A = this chain, B = another copy of it.
Amino acid sequence: MPDWGAHLSEMRQRAPLVHNITNYVAMNVMANVLLAAGASPAMVHAVEEAAEFTPLAGALTINIGTPSGPWVAAMEASAQAAQAAGLPWVLDPVAVGATAFRREIGARLLALGPAAIRGNASEILALSGAAAQGKGADSADPVAAAEEAARALACSTGAVVAVTGPVDYVTDGARGWRVANGHPAMPRVTALGCSLTGLVGAFLAGAEDRATATVAALAYFGLAGERAGETAAGPGSFQVALLDALATITPDALTAGARVQAA
């Protein structure tokens, strides 16, 4: 059994500053998820400063959930700054298939060398150019339907691709994993997928193996969801308990609780 908890332990030791350009709905939750996990979040989106700020961080994440012209300019400038500095950056292509604007943004960002891409099945299908069903932020396709597209996307871009859902699928093109951790209440709380993208960024900061670091981030978040589900009485108390669990889970608990299989 691989030592998934080692990734959590290393992340907490590095306590990386993670630069996030994310959507308005997710900002607060994502910051709290990163703080609870042991990382340090920074939200910086102005084109006047975004690219200057990026190299101060250990990783960058970009989420297109509520895009606009000026923000897209900052996204591109920061992604280029991350590339230039050798920093990993993570792409979260929210609802990328929904409009022409998002499809164009997705394509432009994809060309800037993300280290990892995290989305639901509909988003990964749409980003890879395949037909997808999703309209909003929710997926209308099962994870399994996007596995082939995920592998192709990983091969063509060099990124780790994570398709999240009831059972997540992660691939770097050559290797693959399924992560079964999680809880059915998670889609009933907004911005948890977006927040997970921030965690992937935190785990990638300084990681040697980006694929297993991504798997560890997903297992950790899913395990926190399982813990939260044990006590929550609904989506409100679930979100509270999730943040508590993220802060409480130890590396040993993650190693013991991760439900990961090679695929």
Which residues of A come within 8 Å of B, CB atoms? 17, 23-29, 31-32, 35-36, 40-46, 48-49, 52-53, 56-57, 65-70, 95, 98-102, 135-138, 187-191, 232-237, 239-248
Contacts and interface: CB of A to CB of B under 8 A. Distances in A.
B235 A56 contact: no
B190 A53 contact: no
A248 B236 contact: no
A52 B100 contact: yes
Contacts of A138: 40
B35 A101 contact: no
Q: What 7 A-B pairs are tightest by C-beta distance, nearest first? A: A234-B244, A236-B243, A31-B190, A49-B101, A236-B240, A49-B99, A42-B136
State the copy count for this chain.
3
B69 A189 contact: no
A95 B189 CA distance: 29
A69 B46 contact: yes
Given A41-B136, A235-B247, 16 more contacts: A24-B27, A24-B43, A25-B27, A25-B28, A25-B43, A28-B190, A36-B235, A41-B137, A42-B95, A48-B101, A52-B99, A52-B100, A57-B136, A188-B247, A235-B243, A237-B244
Contacts of A23: 43
Given A36-B234, A236-B244, A242-B236, A67 B46 contact: yes
A73 to B, nearest CB: 11
A227 to B, nearest CB: 10
A18 to B, nearest CB: 9
Nearest to A25: B27
A244 B240 contact: no
Contacts of A102: 49
B235 A53 contact: no
Nearest to A52: B99
